Structure formats: C-alpha cells, structure tokens
Structure 1
C-alpha cells in the first residue's frame, strides 16, 4: 500500500492525517508536538527531535506521497529538499518563495509537486480556472476569504486558525494582482472595503498576496484576492505598525487559537467574462464534529487531492503544478465531499469540460 507522510500536525495537518487514516490509508505523521494526533490509533507517529528537519525522518519518501503542512519558509525548505529525489509532494506551506521556480529541477529528478491545495489559494484557483474554461476570456476575477471568530471580541477580534507567523507575513507581503491585463504589485492591506458576509453581516476586506499561481495561469483584465476580517482588526494592526509598537511575539500570543471559541470560514469567488457573464460561488462553514472550519475547508481540499492522486498515479506529470492544473473532476469531488460534511456551498455546478 502506498503511504501518506504528513509533515506537520497542527490544526490542518492533524485533520488531514485523521481524515486519510479513517479512509483506510497508511498514514505517517511527523512533528515535534504530536498532541493533536496522539490519540489516533491508526496514524503512525514520528516524533521529530529539536534541530532535525521533519522530512529527514521519512524512510524512503519516494515510495509514498508526502503532504507538507509545515509553516512558511520551513515548509518551503522541506519541499525543496524532497524534490531532489523522485518524490510525490503535496505542498500546503504558504511562503513568499513558491515552488514553481523548481519545475526544471523537479523534472530532472523525476519528482512531482502539487502546491497551494488549500481553500484559498487552492479551491479558489480551481473555481477561477473553471470559469475561465467555461466562459473566458475573462474581464475580472475577485476572491474574498477569511477564517474568523463568530463573535468579534477583544482588542483584535481575531484568532489565527493556522500559523500566526504566516498571518503576519500575509499582512506585510506586497500583493501581486492583475490590473489592465498586466501583473502589478500593490501594498498589502490596501483597497480596504466592506463586504457583506452571508450569515454574519458586514465585515472588512483588504488586499493580500493570495492569487499566487493564478497570476500566470489565467488571462484576465483584473484579478484580486482579499482577506476578510471583523471591522477594526486591520486598523489596529496598521496603527501599531505605524507608531512602532508592533511586537510579533505579542501578536502570536494574542492571536493564539482557542478551540472553545466559535468560529467560521467564508469564501466568495466572483468571475465575470468579457461578455458580461458572471459565475459566483459562496462557501461557509461553521465547523463540525470532525473539526473546526479552517481545518475542514483547507484539509478537505488537501485530502481530496491526495486521494485523487493515489487513485491515479498518472494524474500529474513530473514537475511543479498549481491546483488549477487539476481536472475539473477534482474540483467537483471537493464540492461533494464538503457538502457531505455540512459545508454550505452555493454557485454553479462543476460540469467537467476537460478530464
């Protein structure tokens, strides 16, 4: 049996490991802190010692699929090292450096990388690409996404559902967008505006660097990705940054995730063609018995992609591939699996136009 090797067992990593093991796959999990997954009898646990890279603990990674769910630059370094051997890698790390620059090296080494397979980037990419294939050429594509507490409380009105360091990076990294058909770079947190969130009301959105591979794979006149937070959150961040009182360690502590606090994840993807046709999808999840909303919405996309790949070893050729390169059938399957778990998704059905 082909095994899955899960690097990182945080909120999302533990969900993916649990999901795949419950489906009957052989699953290995690697982390310094295995607390979130320690009670899973069907997951083979590997404690990673301080100073050791998790990927170095995998015995024969080329004989399975490695799912890299380590944060930021740590995750990028692991993927970069793993593709030196003929390995299949799913990369969920969200780092400024992206693996598409390693495409030639991956091909030469007989390795394959599928990257950014979360909710956004990830599922959002699949939807934009589907709209492009069905009704392109495109005029505009807009993506809004956010994981937030259900009720805005405290100074920040926020807790980080994934690595707080990655959230901080998201707030300071310039946003790559498309304007007038060309690539452009705008300041993170710019283009602030209010947006109506289904089931919640008015929230605030601002530009972040979440388009990633879509910048090069979809031709469109204008394209943007916005992060969504409770009003007041990002102004607090900006004020502290401008007066010099911003302390990263304090933010990491203040944004610590609390599993007892009700939370939800919301995604909206709106795409308009040059003919004026519009496709729009809305997703909302308030969590479930199997996990919290960001773990579910991110982890299910990752898990479905992993299953599709293990079921069809020819799904991807050697090299580095973004999520929108996958078959529309994978996007359709993601939607079905999410709906089966009570995640609410509205919008056009995915009718595969390429296999």
Structure 2
C-alpha cells in the first residue's frame, strides 16, 4: 500500500522529512508546498534526485492561508507542518476539516495544548494529530520514555541534547541550521521540569554545568525552555525528577544571556527616535547573517539518563545518541534527527498505527518502535547500564 504526503514548508527540515518518507514511508506522492515556489521546486528536485524517482512535486501555498492549504489536501493521508509554530493551530483545524492527519515540528507548548483540545474533532474526522515532533522536543522525549521503559520502576530522568557545528562560528560558538526564531524561542521564558515530584518552573540560562560528551569533550549545559513540551504533565506522578538541558560550546551561554538581558528577545515594539521597532526582529536581522550557515557540517548529540529500579536493584541506564552530517545525501545531523523523527511518526500515522485523536507526542507511539526505526535509518545510539 502506498500513501500521499503533504509537506508545508519546503525548508531544510521539511526536505529531510520528505526524503525519509520517499525512502521509508511507502510514498506514492509528496507535495512540497512553500510560499516560495522556487524553494519548493528545489526541494522536490533534490528529493527526486536522491531517491531516483519522481515522487515529489512542488506547489505554492501560504501557510497562513487555510483555503490554499485545503486545496492541496485532497487525497492526502498525512501532512507535516514544517513552518513556525504560530501557524499550527489553524493548520490543525484545516487538516481536521479535510480528513488529513497531521504531524508538526512544534516549538511552543501553549500552542500544543490548543491543538490537543481538538481531540474530539480529530476523532470525529478519523484523523490523528501529533504535535511537537522533531529532535527537540520530539526525539529527546522519545528517548526519555525509552529509558523509563527499560527500568522496572523509573524515578528520575535527566536529558541533554544539542545540534552543534563541527567548526563553530566565533564569537557566538554556534551556527544555525534552522530558523533563528526557534533558537530565540527556546532561550526565552522558563522551562517546566518535575522536581521532588512537583511541577517546577526554572528560568532559562541558569544552572550551568560542564558535561563531557565525546568526541566533543567538555561542553556547557544549561536550562532552556520548550524542550519538555507536554511531558512534565504526562510524567507527573510517575517520576520524582524530569529535566532537560541544552549543550553548547563553552562561552555560548553568557553571550546569549547578555542579549536576553538587553531585552533583544522581546516581541513588544519600542520607540526609537520616532520609529516603532520590535527588538526581536532587529536582533534576528543583525545576528542571523553571522550565524546562518548554508553548508554547515554538524553533529547531533543526545543523552537520556534514567535512574530507578531494575530487577529489584538500584540502576542507572544511559542512552547516548550521536549523528553527523551525511556526506552522501548532504543532510545535516539536525535535519536528519528533526526531519526523520517526524517522518517516522508520519509513517505510523499513515499506516494507522496511531489512532484517531490529538495525541501528546510522548504517548503517540511506542518509544522502542521509534528508536528501532531510527536505527534502521543509520542513526546510531548505545545503551549503558550502571
């Protein structure tokens, strides 16, 4: 049996997902939709060349125009929203109206809760909605469930993850492989953790520590927001501790914390010599050209630590996942880990392995099946016990 897919947003992550669907998702057709028709055409051409058949085709569509998106959904089994999170509620409603299942790359937990409120509508339409997939908050929380499942009585889960350039750009010690607004969003606000069995809010850019993760050596770990998504509420009552930190090259945290303290992350307009300026827009305009990298060679590193009981004994299980830029396809580790986690979920949705309704990502599909699917795609990870 074959399936038809729609990719909304023909950027880097969307193209990686389309490639995976063409290779592993039994795709008969993949529509690459983007406001920029040339970008959509380039993405479709790249997928077709890599796969060796004409499975992807371009289309022009504005993610904010529900009627345009709806016109592309006839006969589609599953759609992917690979556009900024603020489009996702309306895209979800459009998919439900058209009887199309939806996966998205999320990025804002408040938006996800709005989507989950459409559960009854999704069930009535016979479609599945799975928000917040990708590398983080998707895969990192899949790994969390995996370590919980490996333990008989999990008590604590600690997570670390990063997509880092092998040759970081000074002085920021970073390089962007996705939209800069996603980076700023996860550096804003508070993280939601479980500590002492209770929901706890922790400010971003706090609790810095040094973590050794080979082959990169010593990295700084600190709190960011957004990576937890709905998981603290899901695991509340099951775990005493559940938290995540991002990994960066030493020195990155203090640089970007200074930008936050200056107010550059704010989306509230300010008056500058009679001109109304949104600080975040100015910040992005100035910074993006310096850290955007078209051909970055990167590494994705992820660690999930589970602590609890195994066969009556106190045990710690650790999963270390490492992925690198792929020379053969040209996909970065970030694109592979983000796009392919989405594509795996979409494959489950197309094959009806996920029931109708709006699902929290961490509950949508068995973690072991997702991890096995990624291993089949060449994503390598190791499991260690103490």
Give the TM interval when normalised to the shorter protein.
0.7 to 0.9
CA change 1:130–1:49 in 2 (3 A) is closer
Map residues 53-132 of structure 1 onto 2, 5 A cutoff.
53=66, 55-60=69-74, 63-96=76-109, 97-98=111-112, 99-132=115-148
Aligned to 1:234: 253
Give the superposition deviation at 1:11: 1.0
What RMSD over aligned residues (CA atoms) do the two structures have, in Å? 2.4
TM-fit CA distance, 1:57: 4.1
Residue 279 of structure 1: how far off its partner (Å) = 1.4
Maintained 8 Å contact 1:175/1:188:
yes
Shift of 1:13: 0.3
Taking the TM superposition and a 5 Å limit, the aligned residue runs for 1:143-292 are 143-209=159-225, 210-218=227-235, 219-244=238-263, 247-259=283-295, 261-273=296-308, 276-288=314-326, 289-290=328-329, 291-292=331-332
CA offset at residue 345 of structure 1? 1.1
Which of 321, 326, 348 is equivalent to 1:308?
A: 348
Runs of 4+ in 1 over 4 A off after TM superposition: none
Structure 2 partner of 1:45: 58
The alpha-carbon distance between structure 1 residues 28 and 241, as it changes in their structure 2 partners (threshold 3 A), is same
Contact 1:84 1:111 in 2 (8 A): no
Mapped partners of 1:11, 1:138: distance in 2: 36
Q: Deviations over 1:97-125 (max 9, x none)?
A: 21323323433443311222222322222
Q: For structure 2, list consecutive stretches of 5 or more residues without a partner in the other structure.
A: 49-53, 266-282
Which structure has more relative contact order (CA 8 Å, sep 6+)? It is 2
Contact 1:287–1:293 (8 Å) recurs in 2: yes
The residue number in structure 2 matching 1:352 is none
What is the rounded CA distance, in whole Å, between the counterparts of 2:155 and 2:321 in structure 1? 23
Q: TM-score, normalised by structure 2?
A: 0.81
Bigger radius of gyration, 1 or 2? 2
Cα-to-partner distance string for 1:244-280 (whole Å, 9 max, x where unaligned): 5672322333331331x32111111111115531111
CA distance in 1, matches of 2:339, 2:364: 19
Going from structure 1 to structure 2, the CA distance change for 1:279 and 1:324 (only over 3 Å counts) comes to farther
| Contact in 2 for aligned 1:211/1:225 (Cα 8 Å) | yes
- Answer with 44-53 or 229-238: which moved more: 44-53
In 2, the alpha carbon distance for the partners of 1:296 and 1:245 equals 30
Give the stretch that moved more between structures: 50-59 or 282-291: 50-59
Residue 34 (structure 2) aligns with: 31
Size of the alignment, in residue pairs? 343
The 8 Å contact of residues 137 and 220 in structure 1, kept in 2 or not, is answered as: no
What's the secondary structure of 1:191's corresponding residue?
Answer: coil
Q: Structure 1: how far apart are the matches of 2:217 and 2:338?
A: 23
Q: Is the 8 A contact 2:140 2:161 kept in 1?
A: no
